[in-house]
């Protein structure tokens, strides 16, 4: 069975006109005699609308009920799109997460896929030529609906492609591929023909929401080539694939940013063994994703501990830390919400020096103050005031000549 997986995001299924456009893409492989698994998101804005309803109804909505609520967005787009297909005489049906046996753990709101029943899907594909699968949702051991985190339909699609050993996994969206940075904030952003899994993973982790992080993890683990492309044009997009030697030929491949950040500082904690564990273990237990951590040198046995978290986790983080005030023994708990992260990413950084210093110089020439820095083998991240985000992105994009295909190591 030749199977093609195609995923369409919220703006691609936003209304009837868009869905007709989607149908053209879906019918192409179908007419070539292939089986098509179409993974759909909720119509643009729908997931946000449903989340807002949950907040209106309850100060502290039950997480399992929130998942049950927000998963309906995908159910609507799948049912409507299947109606369009059936009108064309196509053998098709909609398939929800529990019907496709997409088993997840029970972390409501950020569930992980543990298993997909491929036999069941293949049976459905015997009887149908196109399956329209609801993205973003699964089902846990207690047969409750779960969701996979924002942008989770990307992960549903890649997981389907891996499970069904599909020949192609295409992610259709509102931009023509993965760009050197978000094309919606930088006019000079260039579409990449290819990007390695590692780079895409860093881009996604650092805020480039064009693919959900977990979808890239899945693709890398199961060696699925992912083709990111536009719903509204026919041009080739970007292939997310294994690294090859050409990819190292530029120092920096992309710039990402993340505005949904907050910074927390614990002032004058005791500098003694176990202090980091006392702070970060309880946060990890609440599934707070701590990113940059800086501990200052201690004075008189006391130090300051500063770290960043997603802004959505701030309330929870402050609650946990306030409840541990005496255990941790800090003097003051400070936080800031007006911060964002900008990152430069590139496998070319592995073997070349001077990349971070060039980035710092470029930001300083624009008078942008760096609040925190973190680095990995293929990434440098700076925390800055959020009002400078767009300027910082454009500045770094220019500093590494990304509009011209990227700075080569020898010219650095
Ligand atoms: P969908 O609804 O199709 O899943 P998303 O809104 O989740 O689409 O992702 C597409 C958006 O990702 C683009 O509109 C763009 O603003 C943003 N984006 C951020 N960084 C990048 C990048 N490096 N390349 C392409 N798009 C990016
Ligand atoms: N509808 C979900 C969201 O808005 C999942 C997705 O679009 O991928 O996050
Ligand atoms: Mg998305």
Domain boundaries, given as residue ranges, for the chain: 3-174
Give the residue, by CA position, lying nearest to ligand 1 atom 21: 182
Work out the percent of the chain whose per-residue pLDDT is above 70: 99
Cβ distance 83 to 122 under 8 Å? Answer: no
Relative to the CA of 74, which ligand 2 atom is closest?
A: 1
Reported as a pLDDT band with limits 50, 70 and 90, residue 298 is: confident
Mutate which of 14, 175, 258 for ligand 1? The one with the most ligand atoms within 8 Å of its CB, which is 175
CA atoms of 348 and 130, how far apart (whole Å): 41
Give the residue, by CA position, lying nearest to ligand 1 atom 27: 182
Name which of 228, 234, 229 is nearest 200 in CA terms: 228
Q: 308-346 pLDDT, tens per residue?
A: 999 989 999 999 999 999 889 899 999 999 999 999 999
| pLDDT score recorded for residue 411 | 52
Domain 3-174: give its CATH code: 3.40.1160.10
Name which of 287, 404, 389, 302 is nearest 342 in CA terms: 389
Q: 188-215 pLDDT, tens per residue?
A: 999 999 999 999 999 999 999 999 999 9
The bound ligand whose nearest atom lies closest to the alpha carbon of 42 is: 2
The verdict on the CB of residue 209 being under 6 Å from ligand 1 is yes
Give the residue, by CA position, lying nearest to ligand 1 atom 15: 182
Relative to the CA of 153, which ligand 2 atom is closest?
A: 8
Q: In angstroms, what is the span from residue 9 Cα to ligand 3's centroid?
A: 6
| pLDDT score recorded for residue 300 | 86
The verdict on the CB of residue 10 being under 6 Å from ligand 2 is yes
Report the chain's mean pLDDT, rounded to a whole number.
Answer: 95
Name which of 136, 118, 23, 14 is nearest 71 in CA terms: 136
CA atoms of 347 and 354, how far apart (whole Å): 14
Q: How many C-beta neighbours within 10 Å does residue 16 have?
A: 10
The verdict on the CB of residue 10 being under 6 Å from ligand 1 is yes
If residue 358 lies in a helix (H) or strand (E), which one and from where to where?
helix 355-365
The verdict on the CB of residue 231 being under 6 Å from ligand 1 is no
Relative to the CA of 136, which ligand 2 atom is closest?
A: 5
Please list the residues that pair with 256 across neighbouring strands: 343
Mutate which of 135, 156, 228 for ligand 2? The one with the most ligand atoms within 8 Å of its CB, which is 135
CA atoms of 170 and 161, how far apart (whole Å): 9
Output the pTM of the full model. Answer: 0.93
The verdict on the CB of residue 173 being under 6 Å from ligand 1 is yes
The bound ligand whose nearest atom lies closest to the alpha carbon of 13 is: 1
The verdict on the CB of residue 73 being under 6 Å from ligand 2 is yes
* pLDDT over 90 (residue 165): yes
The contacts of residue 402 (CB under 8 Å, 6+ apart) are 180, 181, 188, 189, 190, 252, 253, 254, 255
The bound ligand whose nearest atom lies closest to the alpha carbon of 97 is: 2
Reported as a pLDDT band with limits 50, 70 and 90, residue 24 is: very high
The first and second tokens of residue 242, run together, are 């294994």
């Amino acid at each position: 069975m030749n199977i093609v997986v195609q995923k369409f995001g919220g703006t691609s299924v936003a209304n009837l006109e868009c869905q007709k456009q989607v149908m053209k893409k879906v019918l192409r492989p179908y007419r070539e005699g292939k089986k098509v698994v179409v993974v759909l998101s909720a119509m643009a804005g729908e997931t946000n609308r449903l989340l807002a309803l949950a907040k209106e109804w309850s100060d502290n909505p039950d997480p399992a009920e929130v998942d049950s609520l927000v998963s309906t967005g995908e159910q609507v787009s799948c049912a409507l799109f299947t109606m369009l297909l059936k009108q064309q005489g196509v053998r098709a049906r909609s398939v929800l997460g529990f019907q496709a046996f997409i088993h997840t753990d029970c972390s409501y709101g950020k569930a992980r896929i543990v298993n997909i029943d491929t036999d069941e899907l293949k049976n459905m594909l015997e009887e149908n030529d196109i399956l329209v699968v609801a993205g973003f949702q699964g089902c846990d051991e207690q047969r409750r609906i779960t969701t996979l985190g924002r942008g989770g339909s990307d992960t549903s699609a890649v997981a389907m492609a891996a499970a069904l050993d599909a020949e192609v996994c295409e992610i259709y969206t509102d931009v023509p591929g993965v760009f050197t940075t978000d094309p919606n904030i930088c006019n000079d952003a260039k579409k990449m023909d290819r990007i390695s899994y590692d780079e895409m993973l860093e881009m996604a982790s650092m805020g480039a929401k064009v693919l959900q992080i977990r979808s890239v993890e899945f693709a890398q683990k199961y060696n699925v080539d992912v083709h990111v492309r536009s719903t509204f044009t026919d041009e080739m997009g970007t292939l997310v694939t294994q690294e090859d030697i050409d990819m190292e030929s530029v120092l920096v491949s992309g710039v990402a940013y993340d505005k949904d950040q907050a910074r927390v500082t614990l002032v004058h904690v005791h500098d003694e063994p176990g202090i980091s564990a006392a702070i970060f273990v309880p946060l990890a237990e609440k599934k707070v994703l701590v990113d940059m951590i800086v501990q200052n040198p201690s004075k008189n046995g006391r130090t300051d501990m500063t770290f960043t978290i997603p802004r959505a986790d701030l309330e929870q983080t402050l609650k946990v830390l306030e409840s541990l005030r005496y255990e941790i023994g800090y003097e003051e708990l400070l936080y800031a919400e007006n911060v964002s992260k900008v990152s430069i990413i590139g496998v070319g950084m592995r073997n070349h020096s001077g990349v971070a210093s060039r980035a710092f110089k470029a930001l300083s020439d624009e008078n942008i103050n760096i609040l925190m820095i973190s680095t990995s083998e293929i990434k440098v991240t700076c925390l800055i005031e959020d009002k400078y985000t767009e300027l910082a992105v454009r500045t770094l994009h220019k500093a590494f000549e990304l509009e011209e295909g990227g700075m080569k190591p020898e010219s650095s």
